[in-house]
Structure 1
């Protein structure tokens, strides 16, 4: 089941307190970015956060690990109840983004 645009829009709006949060459609699902860093995936109407020690500490007992799609590495599955708490969602996305390395600059495309 593909993720609906409305679901992604809701997550982005709720997480906006974390910084510059945006989403990009990829392979029929969505990648979630915070301040230019890929922090999460939204697949099959579920939110999957990249695993970091800071994210685990922030989530506490809520942490459930599972792959967002077959063959993927396990990520933290964020329950829907957490989406409703904008401050909590923004906090976990912010600490995850801060814990991730800065992505390397993109190489220019050849003409």
Structure 2
């Protein structure tokens, strides 16, 4: 099941309250970028975020799921994406980690 345009638009509206987030459509799903860095995606109407040290601290209680069948990477399922303050902390932390690599 591909992500619906309505769900994508709603998630993007919420995320852009936390910072500048862009998306790129890939085979019916969406890769998500913050400050030009890939941090996750929208897959099957689910917001999934890469596992990093920062995301692990903030999302440690969230379930881990595969973004698509055959994926080798588990990602955090984020349900609190409507909380702009929380998402800003999450996105900024991931961006800092990615810039240090």
Normalising by structure 2, report the TM-score: 0.84
Tell me how many residue pairs correspond in the alignment: 100
Q: Deviations over 1:25-48 (max 9, x none)?
A: 001100111010111110100011
Deviation of 1:102 after TM superposition, in Å, equals 7.7
Q: Could you list the runs of 5+ residues in structure 1 that have no partner in the other structure?
A: 104-111
Write the distance in 2 (CA, Å) between the matches of 1:86 and 1:13. Answer: 10
Write the distance in 2 (CA, Å) between the matches of 1:64 and 1:90. Answer: 20
- 1:57 matches 2:62: no
Q: Which has the larger radius of gyration?
A: 1
Q: Higher helix proportion, which one? A: 1
- Residue pair 1:16, 1:90 contacting (<8 A) in 2 also: no
Normalising by structure 1, report the TM-score: 0.78
Matches within 5 A, 1:1-111: 1-61=1-61, 63-72=62-71, 73-79=73-79, 82-101=80-99
Secondary structure of 2:67 counterpart: coil
Q: Could you list the runs of 5+ residues in structure 2 that have no partner in the other structure?
A: none
Deviates more, 1:34-43 or 1:18-27: 18-27
